[in-house]
Structure 1
Amino acid sequence: MTGHLHHPRDPRQAVCGLPADTVARWETEDPPVAERSCEDCLTLLPDAARPDDYTHPASDATLLESLRRIVAARQHAKIDGVLVDLWSARVTCAIWDRHSDEHRQRLLTLPSHELILRCVAIYTRVTGGSR
């Protein structure tokens, strides 16, 4: 059984993304022993611990400006505690541009990570899952 590391900014999950209530064993040594720790937790820890590049409350339309900066810089960034890759940012911007104002306002009621996931789901449904 491998131990997982607590997410430094979200105690409800492990660094690798597992919900805290499903983790059977936490790694308690500092630094964690590599042979007994989740490899994903160890490799993702530096990115998880870094500060946010952008923060946006719900209903903040400047989230799209931040996503467009990610696309322009061709570099992932951390938004509200979640790493956003280039592809997800590009897809979110593409779906956003094709929606009406009514649908945009509905999307803005979601937290930033939910808005991105919803746009990725729409893109996947529309394109049949191809990238």
Structure 2
Amino acid sequence: MTGHLRHPRDPRQAVCGLPADTVTRWETQDPPHTERTCEDCLTLLPDAARRDDYTHPPGDATLIESLRRIVAERQHAKIDGVLVDLWSASVTLAIWDRLTAKHRQRLLTLPSHELILRCVAIYTHVTGGRR
């Protein structure tokens, strides 16, 4: 059984993303034992502890500009506590640019990570059927 590290900014989850109620053992030593700690927790800890690059409340249209900066700089960034990679940002923009104004407004009511996940799901649905 491996121990998990508690997320430094969200005590309801482990660094690797597991919800706190499903974690059976927390690693409590500092520094944690590398042979008994979740490898994902150890590798993601520096990025989880770093400050947000961008913060956007739901409904903030500047989220799209932040995603465009991620694509332009070809570098991942942290938006509202979630790391957004280059692929997710570019897929979100590809879907966003093809949506009508009505659908864009509906998506903007969601938190930033949910908006990105919805766009990725649309992209997967649209491209997944072609072989």
- Report the TM-score when normalising by structure 2: 0.97
Q: Which amino acid aligns with 2:128?
A: G
* Structure-2 separation of matches of 1:81 and 1:127: 29
Q: Which amino acid aligns with 1:61?
A: A
Name 1:110's counterpart in structure 2.
Answer: 110
Shift of residue 95, structure 1, vs aligned partner: 0.5
* Structure-2 separation of matches of 1:47 and 1:96: 27
Shift of residue 129, structure 1, vs aligned partner: 6.9
SS of equivalent residue, structure 2 residue 83: strand
User: Where in structure 2 are there 5+ consecutive unaligned residues?
Assistant: none
Q: Which amino acid aligns with 1:79?
A: I
SS of equivalent residue, structure 2 residue 58: coil
**Is residue 119 of structure 2 the alignment partner of residue 119 of structure 1?**
yes
**Is residue 77 of structure 2 the alignment partner of residue 40 of structure 1?**
no
* Structure-1 separation of matches of 2:12 and 2:102: 33
State the identity as a percent.
85
Name 1:87's counterpart in structure 2.
Answer: 87
* Structure-2 separation of matches of 1:79 and 1:129: 30
Where in structure 1 do 4 or more consecutive aligned residues deviate above 4 Å? Answer: none
Distance 1:129 1:33, change over 3 A: farther
**Is residue 15 of structure 2 the alignment partner of residue 15 of structure 1?**
yes
User: What does the per-residue CA deviation read over 1:8-37, in whole Å, with 9 as the maximum and x for residues that have no partner?
Assistant: 111111000111100000000111111110
* Structure-1 separation of matches of 2:18 and 2:118: 20
* Structure-1 separation of matches of 2:31 and 2:61: 40
* Structure-1 separation of matches of 2:60 and 2:14: 28
* Structure-2 separation of matches of 1:55 and 1:129: 35
* Structure-1 separation of matches of 2:129 and 2:28: 40
Name the count of aligned residue pairs.
130
Q: Which amino acid aligns with 2:56?
A: H
* Structure-2 separation of matches of 1:83 and 1:129: 28
Task: Calculate the aligned-residue CA RMSD, in Å.
Answer: 1.0
SS of equivalent residue, structure 1 residue 35: coil
User: What does the per-residue CA deviation read over 1:18-57, in whole Å, with 9 as the maximum and x for residues that have no partner?
Assistant: 1110000000011111111001100000000000000000
Shift of residue 72, structure 1, vs aligned partner: 0.1
* Structure-2 separation of matches of 1:15 and 1:57: 23
* Structure-2 separation of matches of 1:83 and 1:124: 20
